[in-house]
Structure 1
Amino acid sequence: MPVKRLSVVVTRRLPEVVETRMKELFDVTLRDPDTPMSREELAAAMRQADVLVPTITDTIDAGLLGQAGEKLKLIANYGAGFDHVDVATARQRGILVSNTPGVTTEDTADMVMALILAVTRRIPEGLKVMQSGNWPGWSPMANLGGRLGGRRLGILGMGRIGQAVARRARAFGLQVHYHNRKRVRPETEAELEATWWESLDQMLARMDIVSVNCPHTPSTFHLLNARRLKLMKPSAVVVNTSRGEVIDQNALTRALRAGELAGAGLDVYEQGSELNPRLHELANVVLLPHMGSATIEGRIEMGEKVIINIKTFADGHRPPDQVVPGMF
């Protein structure tokens, strides 16, 4: 007698190779067209599926989990971040949650450096001049940016991505500093030539560039608030590729408009795709549409991790990337 295949609902389109493998292994419902599911669609999916495969665009809160059917036993998140899923409520309802950690480390660290370079060397401004067709020619004082070598980089969150950023930063001649919940091992500090700051306030006041690489948790919400942004030097730059909620976006906008900060490079935003419109007006701000992990290699590896988590669960074992309340 054939073994019954798990019913799996995927909320967004994934790379073709990932979808093909899912169809081979599971009774899968794929998303077409590639648009975020409405709350009603998510509720319906959670009533019909054994496994839901959501992404960051799906907010799965206690109210939605309350509408889940008895079948739903696993939320296999496509992505490392899971603050859009109420993990504690899911656990109370007997629903496991998994994620895909480690896959996007190198890609996101690359994007951190890209944003640092873009802001400090004024690359978007140069592109705009060239694309306008009105470049008047080279001038010794035109488009002057700043040299990276010798500057102090403060990394907020020294996990996998923070350490990958530190390795890249050293190659550019940046001095690496960091603030973390816990100090990293001495051998890691030595390898990265990184200086730990127990006080975030003291670190911020002395940095030329600050990179946000910590997860969004209740303790990191608005960690960079108006008070802390005012501690930073007017010549400093802020880069965020982690979670938008870590920075008070309105306070950051005010600081940039007032000349209290030299610039910002943002790939994530506090209200998802909704930005403070005044950010668009600032020449010293580089805005990207959440591209930090956007490589085909990374997307496929994320899909492979999702499949492994589902397959392991189907075989009666704990998913290797299971998330439990209080992990961060």
Structure 2
Amino acid sequence: MAEPRPRVWVSQPLIDAVIEPLRAQVELITTDEVTAWTAEQLAARLADVDGAIITLNERVGAAQVAGATRLQVIANVGVGYNNLDVEALSAAGIVASNTPDVLTETTADLGFALLMAAARRITESERWLREGQWGQWSFQTMLGADIHGSTLGILGMGRIGQGIARRGAHGFGMRVLYHNRSRLPEAAEGEVGAQYADFDTLLAQSDHLVLVLPYTASSHHIIDAAALAKMKPTATLVNIARGGIVDELALADALATGRLAAAGLDVYEGEPAVRPELLALHNIVLTPHIGSASLATRKAMVQLAADNLLAALNVDGAAARMPSAINAEAAFAARTASGDKSKKR
């Protein structure tokens, strides 16, 4: 008798052109409508599957995998994985993966779009026009900040940060400063046209500051009232990293009192909820976490998640290194220690 195919659950509607072909290789359980799964529902869904493809909306920790004796892999559709308790998954022998690289340029595009929209007051101008106020025009109406020739600051200089640096330096003739946990090699700095600066210098000299650093305990609220006070009152702040990096109440106060000229946010600390203090402001551009939201990029993300899943499940006997595993060594070590090297179905 042939060994049963692995059972896989997909937590949200994704890209059918990528997901549906998996039916030929696994027993596939899909989700037809966008669903806000409770912690208990997630635990129930994961309890009887070998693998899962999930999104950033699903938070998975020890409680959700406690009864998931078959579960071998969770393929997260997203470069970030703050929704996963990686330590708990590793201890349970469950491999986790993410989808880096494929969204780099698309997310950098969105970051630069937010910078331009905030600095040039695009959404504020559109609301003003739609409200029929153009008749009140004066020579000083909707004066914004130049982007070309200004100083672009980047906090975090991974792939997305470097993509933004290239756009600024090569496309708009900007002076580019960056701060990162580790300095780039000199050749890489030259390629993207960026200069290293300490954190305070970055804050003080940036006309436009873009946040693209990972969210960790040390980066929580790194942009707080004290940091905002060091920035130019004419500056623009853009966050496409994670909401918890910015103290949103301090940001709202800085924008409302003129301590900061404008901001653009794609991420929020309590998303999908957005603070009313931010919603009430006119000098801020708000988008609903759409950094990777182009059709081509979202398709590539789902394909990478599927590739990670199939490799981890050793589908068709073609074991392969997962393209982007997060914790493979720790998970396999836990399986070995427990005597469950294969998590057989």
TM range, smaller chain: over 0.9
After TM superposition, the runs of 4+ consecutive aligned structure 1 residues lying more than 4 A away are none
| CA shift digits 1:246-288 (9 cap, x unpaired) | 1111111122122111111000001111222011111100111
Partner of 1:52: 52
Identity %: 38
User: 1:4 Cα deviation (Å)?
Assistant: 2.5
Structure 1's unaligned 5+ residue stretches are none
- The alignment yields a C-alpha RMSD, in angstroms, of 1.8
Distance 2:3 2:301 in 1: 26
Q: Equivalent residue for 1:73? A: 72
TM-score by length of 2: 0.90
Structure 1: distance between partners of 2:229 and 2:64: 39
**1:117-167: CA deviation from partner (whole Å, max 9, x where unpaired):** 111111112211332344328643222212111211110111010000011
Q: 1:25: how far off?
A: 2.4
The 1:242/1:68 distance shift into structure 2, 3 A limit, reads farther
Count residues with an aligned counterpart. Answer: 325
> Do 2:72 and 2:313's aligned partners in 1 also have CA atoms closer than 8 Å?
no
Q: In the alignment, which residue of structure 2 is the partner of 1:257? A: 256
**3-state DSSP class of the match of 1:184?**
coil
What's the secondary structure of 1:136's corresponding residue?
Answer: helix
- Counterpart of 1:234 in structure 2 is 233
What is the CA–CA distance in structure 2 between the aligned matches of 1:318 and 1:9, rounded to whole Å?
Answer: 21
The structure, 1 or 2, with the larger RCO (C-alpha pairs under 8 Å, 6+ apart) is 2
Aligned residue type for 1:172:
F
What corresponds to 2:34 in structure 1? 34
Q: CA deviation at 1:68?
A: 3.5
Mapped contact 1:12–1:34 kept (Cα < 8 A)? yes
**Residue equivalent to 2:327:** 324
Instruction: Give 1:24's aligned amino acid.
Output: A
8 Å contact from structure 1 (residues 87, 325) kept in 2: no
Matches within 5 A, 1:95-106: 95-106=94-105
CA apart distance, 1:208: 1.0
Quick one: which amino acid aligns to residue 212 of structure 2?
N
- Structure 2 SS opposite 1:77: strand
Query: Hey, what does 1:280 align to over in structure 2?
Result: 279
What secondary structure does 2:84 align onto? Answer: coil
In the TM superposition, what whole-angstrom CA distance separates every residue of 1:14-67 from its partner, at most 9, and x where no partner exists? 0120221222322111112112222121111110111121111111123323x3
What SS does structure 2 have at the residue aligned with 1:28?
Answer: strand
1:186 paired residue number: 186
Q: Secondary structure at the match of 2:308?
A: helix
Instruction: Name 1:136's counterpart in structure 2.
Output: 135
